[in-house]
Structure 1
Amino acid sequence: MPPARDFYEILGVPRGAGQEEIQRAYRRLARENHPDVNKDPAAEDRFKDISEAYSVLSDPATRRRYDAFGPEFRQVPEDVDPETWARARAARAGRGTRTGTGGMGPEGFGPGVEFGEGIDLDDLLQGLFTGRAGGAGRAGRAGRAGRGWGPIPGADQEAGIELTVEEAYRGGRRSITVGGRTLQVDIPPGVTDGQRVRLAGQGGRGTGGAPPGDLYLVVSIAPHPRYRVEGRDIHVRLPVAPWEAALGAAVAVDTPAGEAKVKVPAGTSSGRRLRLRGRGMPNPRGTPGDLLAEVRITVPPHLSGEERELFERLAAASSYDPRRRR
C-alpha cells in the first residue's frame, strides 16, 4: 500500500499556514477538481483527497492531532503523549522484524526492553492501534495489570459544499456524497460563504460504544453570471436606458427571489448604486442583507430614423459636456 499523502501537500500550503490560507487553497482546488466541472476521470479522487485534507486541517483540534501523530492520528487514543509516541515509533522502526531474542534495537536496546518511563514499545504500539495500551507486559513486568483506554468518541469532520446564489438564498434539501456516503442535507435559507452547516452524528466513528462525531459542511457560493455576494449583501448590474437615467423611472431588477422594482432618480449616471433594503440574503436570526443595483447606462445598438433624429436634436440643443471637470 502506498504511503498516505501529506494533507499539507495535497492543499499546497506550508505546515505553518493560517486558516484563511488553508480555506483559500481548498476553495480553489475544490472548484478546479469538482466532478461536475472537471471531466478528468481522476478528478473525483483528487476532490475526495482535497475534501479530506481540508476537513482535518480546518479544525484546530484535529489539525493539532494530525501534526502530532501524522496519518495515523485517528487511531491514537486521546491521552497518548506525542513525544513518547514518536520515540516509540522511531525505536520500533529501527528494530525491524525480529523473533525470539535475536536482534538489537536502536541505541543498543534489545527485544522486549522497556523504553523511557516504564513504557514497553510493543505494548504501547499494539495498544495504539487496537484501542488500548498496556496489557500483561513482558519480562520484569509480570503481574502488572494493563489498563484500557475506554470508549473514544468519533472525531468531528468537515467537507465542502458548493451552492449557487439561488440555492443559498432559498435553502432547501440537497443530496451530497461524502466519503462514499450519500447524505440528505437541509440547507437553511440565507447561508453565506464560509458558513458551516452541522450534520449531527455524521462524522468519524466512535469506538467502544462511544458516539460518532459531527460532520460540518463548509459552504462556498459559486460564481454567478448576474449576482455578486458580499456577506449578506447581493450586488447586481442594472441596465438603464439614457432617457430613463436622465428623466427618472421605475425599472425592474432581477433578484434571487424574483423581479423587484427600483426607482431610478432623474439625472442618474452609470456606477450609481441603488439600495433595496432587506432584499439581499435572508437572515433567520437577524437583519437580512440588502440588494445593491449598480446602474449601467446602455444605448440602443441600432437606431431607427426617428431615434437618430431625436438624439441629433438633443446633441444640438444640449450644452452638457461629460468630460468637463466640475
Structure 2
Amino acid sequence: MAVKYQDYYEILGIPRDASAKDIKAAYRKLARKWHPDLHTGKKKDEAEEKLKRINEAYEVLKDNDKRAKYDRLGENWQAGQEFDGADRDGFHYYRTNINPEDLGGFSDFFASLFGVPGAAGTSPFQSASRPGQDIETNLDLTLEELYHGGNKSIRLTSRQLCPDCQGQGLRGRGFCSRCGGTGNLPEEKNLDIKIPPGVYAGSTIRLKGQGSQGLGGAAAGDLYLKVNLLPHPLFKVQERDLETSISLRPEQAVLGDKVKAPTLEGSVTVTIPAGSRNGSRLRLKGKGLPLKEGGRADQYLLIQIDIPRDLTEEEKNLYRKLKEIRQGGDGK
C-alpha cells in the first residue's frame, strides 16, 4: 500500500543539515506553540493534529539511527510523493496492512518505515534508563553578594518528567495527552543556595542533582548557575579591582585634605595629597574583590573636582583675588 512521504525537516522548519541542538530548539518552540491546552474549538483539533506530526518528526530526527535511515529514503523521495514500502538499499520497510487505530498518533508513513509502535519486534521506542539532562541558567548577584557570599533563595522554572508517561511521551499506542507527547512538564521550585565568597562574574556554581529528572530511575542531571553581576550605583568592576568616583572642592585638591570614601566594607578616611588633579586615581590597597589565590584586589578612587554652586560673595571675592594674582604672574 502506497503512503505519502512525510518531510520531517519541513514539519520542524529546519534545514536537512540541522544540528541536534537546532532540532531540539525547533521542536520545543513548535511544541509550545501548538500545545492543545493553548487552543479551543476547531483550533484545538488542528493543534492536536499538528502536534502529532511535530512529535513524529522529532522522534525520528532526534535519533541518529532513525534519522540516517530516513535521510537515505529522502534521497529518492520528495514530499508529497507516494512511498510503497519496498526493500531498498539494504533496509526493510514494513508493508503489512496497518490498522489506523494501531498507529495512535503516528502516520502510516512512519509505520511503513519503522513499524507500528508497540508491535512486537518493531517498536522504535525503548524504555531505557537515561540520566537526566543538565540545566544551565543565569544567577544574578549584587556586588555585595559577590563580595561577601552567603545564602540566597532563587525560583527556578524547569521541565520534569511527565508522571503519566514517565518521560516517554507515549501512552499505549499514541502520544501522552497530559504532556502532548513531549515527555515532560514545566515545574517551578524554590532553591536555597550557598554563594561562596569570592565568586566572580562568569564563574559557575554547580548544584548536583538539581537538573532534569533521569529516565527509568537514572540519576538526575545537575544545575549550573552562571554568575551574572548586576550593575552597582557606586562601583565599577574592572576584573577584580573596584573603582568609584570621589568629588573634591578646588581647595581640597590644591591644598590636600582628609575625606570619607565608600568601600564594600564601609566608609574609610582617605588622605588627599596636595595638588591632586582631576581624573587622577588614588589606590586603596586590598579593598577590591577576593582573589582566587587568596587576598583581595584593590579599589581605586577617581578624583573629580567639583565647583560648588552655592558660593557666598566672600568666596567669590577670594576667587577674584586669586584670578588677579594669577593674571599678575605668568598665568600658569
| TM-score, reference length from structure 2 | 0.58
- Which residue pairs with 2:83 in the alignment? 108
- Judged with a 3 Å threshold, the aligned counterparts in structure 2 of structure 1 residues 118 and 264 are, in CA distance, closer, same or farther, namely farther
CA shift for structure 1 position 193: 2.2
- Judged with a 3 Å threshold, the aligned counterparts in structure 2 of structure 1 residues 207 and 285 are, in CA distance, closer, same or farther, namely farther
Alignment of 1:246-325 (within 5 A): 246-283=254-291, 285-318=293-326
The residue identity in structure 2 corresponding to 1:171 is G
- Which residue pairs with 1:84 in the alignment? 68
| Bigger Cα Rg | 2
- Which residue pairs with 2:107 in the alignment? none
Q: 1:67 aligns with which of 7, 11, 22?
A: 22
Q: Distance in 1 between matches of 2:73 and 2:155?
A: 35
CA shift for structure 1 position 238: 0.8
Report if the CA contact (8 A) 2:60-2:67 is conserved: no
For residue 267 of structure 2, give the secondary structure of its aligned residue in structure 1.
Answer: strand
- Judged with a 3 Å threshold, the aligned counterparts in structure 2 of structure 1 residues 302 and 204 are, in CA distance, closer, same or farther, namely same
- Which residue pairs with 2:151 in the alignment? 173
Q: Distance in 1 between matches of 2:207 and 2:73?
A: 35
- Which residue pairs with 1:5 in the alignment? none
Q: Distance in 2 between matches of 1:200 and 1:125?
A: 39
For residue 152 of structure 1, give the secondary structure of its aligned residue in structure 2.
Answer: coil
Cα shift readout 1:220-263 (whole Å, capped 9, x = no counterpart):
22222211112212111111121221122232211222112333
The worse-fitting range, judged by mean Cα deviation, of 311-320 and 179-188 is: 311-320
CA shift for structure 1 position 192: 2.4
- Judged with a 3 Å threshold, the aligned counterparts in structure 2 of structure 1 residues 125 and 137 are, in CA distance, closer, same or farther, namely closer
Q: Distance in 2 between matches of 1:147 and 1:181?
A: 31
Q: Distance in 1 between matches of 2:125 and 2:151?
A: 46
Q: Which has the higher contact order (CA 8 A, sep 6+)?
A: 2
Q: Does residue 1:136 correspond to 2:130, yes or no? A: no
Unaligned runs of 5+ in 2: 1-17, 29-57, 95-109, 158-187
- Which residue pairs with 1:142 in the alignment? none
CA shift for structure 1 position 137: 2.5
Unaligned runs of 5+ in 1: 1-62, 96-104, 139-145
| TM-score, reference length from structure 1 | 0.59
- Which residue pairs with 1:192 in the alignment? 200
For residue 303 of structure 2, give the secondary structure of its aligned residue in structure 1.
Answer: strand
Q: 1:151 aligns with which of 100, 124, 129?
A: 129
- Which residue pairs with 2:51 in the alignment? none
The worse-fitting range, judged by mean Cα deviation, of 193-202 and 290-299 is: 193-202
- Which residue pairs with 1:10 in the alignment? none
CA shift for structure 1 position 189: 2.2
CA shift for structure 1 position 106: 5.7
Q: Distance in 2 between matches of 1:213 and 1:84?
A: 28
Report if the CA contact (8 A) 1:69-1:82 is conserved: no
Report if the CA contact (8 A) 1:237-1:294 is conserved: yes
The alignment yields a C-alpha RMSD, in angstroms, of 4.1
- Judged with a 3 Å threshold, the aligned counterparts in structure 2 of structure 1 residues 76 and 175 are, in CA distance, closer, same or farther, namely farther
For residue 294 of structure 2, give the secondary structure of its aligned residue in structure 1.
Answer: coil
CA shift for structure 1 position 207: 1.0
Q: 1:162 aligns with which of 128, 140, 147?
A: 140
